[in-house]
Amino acid sequence: MPIQDQLAFALDRNDQEPNKLVAKQITNAGGIKEVKELISFIKSKPKQRAQSDAVLALAYVGELAPTLLSDEAPFLISQLNSSVNRVIFGSMIALAHIAHLTKGMLFDSLPQIIDAMDSGTVVTRDYGFRIMVTLYTDGKYKEDMFLLIQEQLMKAPSNQLGQYAERLMEVLNKDHLKPLIDTLEDRRNDVSNEHHIKRLNKNLKKLYKQL
């Protein structure tokens, strides 16, 4: 049976379990051939739901076995220009899972990634930020990435600010400790939800202790 016929859309399912099952089957078999079949299927421009299910299956493959997907980074980057939101965020999720294997290519593709983050869904932004933090962990890109990450922190919705700060704090270079504190302090007045205020204060307290 063709791999696309096992996806959720083909089974008239609205959940992700069929797509996850396809991904498990592919990874268990070391299925580079099946990955390429899914990509060929997406390139054939099927209906939107079929495209998005195929991309999300690839994202699950990336989560389970990133090496199976790393050679397909150029294709996934190209899908950030899709007109289908689920294709965009599925591609960003997949790229986040393989970012540690494709740092150079993703660094060169930051304009496309940031454009997709700025105009996309919450999921697109979240996984784009994960990509940026992964690139930050590489010494070659650390300084450039910190400046770009600061920009994202300054314009991030207040309900996402805490989780973004925490993700960066896990890998933060001490040279960037004070600039991060300053950025979060600048955002303080933008945060009005009590839960998010507590989260921001908790993060700042941790950071100040490291000064």
Percentage with pLDDT > 70 across the chain: 100
Q: Which residue has the tokens 């450039």?
A: 144
Q: Is the pLDDT of residue 135 over 90?
A: yes
Taking only the tens place, the pLDDT of each residue in 86-100 is 999 999 999 999 999
Residue 79 per-residue DSSP state: G
pLDDT in tens, 39-74: 999 999 999 999 999 999 999 999 999 999 999 999
Cα separation, 43 vs 76, in Å, equals: 11
Cα(131)–Cα(105) distance, rounded to whole angstroms? 12
- Domains of the chain listed by start with CATH number: 3-155 (1.25.10.10)
